[in-house]
Amino acid sequence: MQKDANSFHRILDTFQDFYIRTTKAKVHIIMAVHLFKKRTYSSVYQKYMVPVSSEILNIIVSFVKEKTDGRPLKMGLDVGCGTGRYTLPLAPHFEKVLGVDISESQINVAKQHTTANNVSYMVAPAEKLPMKDTSVDLVNAALAAHWFTTDEFFDETIRVLKTRGCLAVHGFSPNFDIEYKDLSHDLNVVLSEALDTLSQYYDSIVEHMLCQYRSIYEAIPLKDKEWITDIPVRIQMSVPEIVGLFQSFYMYQTFMEKDVKGAEEFLIQTKERFQDILGEEADSVQLNINMKYYCVLACKH
């Protein structure tokens, strides 16, 4: 009798764990749809999100070429493509590239900024990819996999990848620093306090980013996989661009929904503090931003 009771409790615990994980996944999808469907947010995201990392792009392309033994790369699939920020840079390496995103607003912005003849876009979720079985050479997800229901996304990825086709998921840490002359310390005090303010609006999605996608790497059901962390990338941004970057973070959008006035004052005060440190050149000077990227790669055999 005791054995039956123990078995029942184990089954119940398993069911509860599955229910919690499934519920969280659904909540994240709902959050993503709600956030990214906004036309104004899509425009902000396109304008201010950090530029494409050539370092990450080179890592991905080199990995794919190595694993595919130099065969012609016919199809690239950019999942959670947003406004097409990584879709377009992939285009020179493939005969065709398709960008898919759950947000029609993001796809519309992507189409407006696309000139490449071999790139197209479609509204579709990561958990139901609009591709035939074994038809894709690369599935790419840039700063997006933390929004997905990962087990369903991986199942779909394995379904659509050709033999020796590759998966690449990557992003950057939300913690970074500024370097500029002898003002770095003062600038980083302001930056750190701004990031601390935004961290109040973190949720479990950010945990994937803070651990540099370790949990996503561990969940990939492919044996041939790599996890590359702490990839140094330096970009240059002005103060207005840094403030715009804050606006492009989903944490700021959550802040806005809860306290519009507080969120707007946060941006104004942060910009003014940067300006006080930099003086007259504040809005024109280019600051060095030191970021850390991470990349998870896998190959289907």
Domains of the chain (ranges, CATH numbers): 32-174+204-231+291-299 (3.40.50.150)
The rounded Cα 33 to chain-centroid distance in angstroms is 15
The helices-and-strands tally (H runs, E runs) of the chain is 12, 8
Three-class SS of residue 70? coil
- What is the chain's pLDDT, residue by residue, as a tens digit (301 residues)? 545 545 544 544 443 443 334 334 444 444 444 444 555 677 888 888 888 999 999 999 999 999 999 899 999 999 999 999 999 999 999 999 999 999 999 999 999 989 899 999 999 999 999 999 999 999 999 999 999 999 999 999 999 999 999 999 999 998 899 999 999 999 999 999 999 999 999 877 788 888 999 999 999 999 999 999 999 999 999 999 999 999 999 899 999 999 999 999 999 999 999 999 999 889 899 999 999 999 999 999 9
- Single-letter amino acid, residue 85: R
- Single-letter amino acid, residue 183: L
Three-class SS of residue 123? strand
Q: Tell me, what's the pLDDT at 130? A: 97
- The token duo for 297 is 């790669």
Please give the Cα distance from 140 to 126 (Å, whole number). Answer: 11
Own/partner pairs for 274-279, CB < 8 Å, 24+ apart?
A: 274/187, 274/190, 274/239, 274/242, 274/243, 275/239, 277/183, 277/186, 277/187, 277/190, 278/180, 278/183, 278/187, 278/239
Contact between 142 and 171 (Cβ < 8 Å): yes
Q: Which of 208, 202, 67 is nearest to 144 (CA)?
A: 208
Q: Tell me, what's the pLDDT at 159? A: 98
With both helix axes pointing from N to C terminus, report the angle between 239-248 and 39-48 in degrees, rounded to the nearest 10: 140
What lies within 8 Å, CB to CB, of 143 at 6+ separation is 49, 80, 82, 170, 171, 172
Q: Please compute, for residue 138, the number of CA atoms within 13 A of its CA located in the half-sphere on the CB side.
A: 35
Three-class SS of residue 219? helix
Q: Tell me, what's the pLDDT at 25? A: 42
With both helix axes pointing from N to C terminus, report the angle between 250-258 and 260-278 in degrees, rounded to the nearest 10: 130
Q: How many CB atoms lie within 10 A of CB 299?
A: 20
Q: Which of 255, 292, 287 is nearest to 274 (CA)?
A: 287
Listing DSSP states for 125-179 in one string gives -TTS-SS-TT-EEEEEEES-GGGS-HHHHHHHHHHHEEEEEEEEEEEE-S--EEE
- The token duo for 37 is 């469907």
Residue with tokens 């993001």: 106
Contact between 160 and 141 (Cβ < 8 Å): no
Please give the Cα distance from 255 to 252 (Å, whole number). Answer: 5
Q: Tell me, what's the pLDDT at 109? A: 92
Total-model pTM: 0.85
The rounded Cα 300 to chain-centroid distance in angstroms is 22
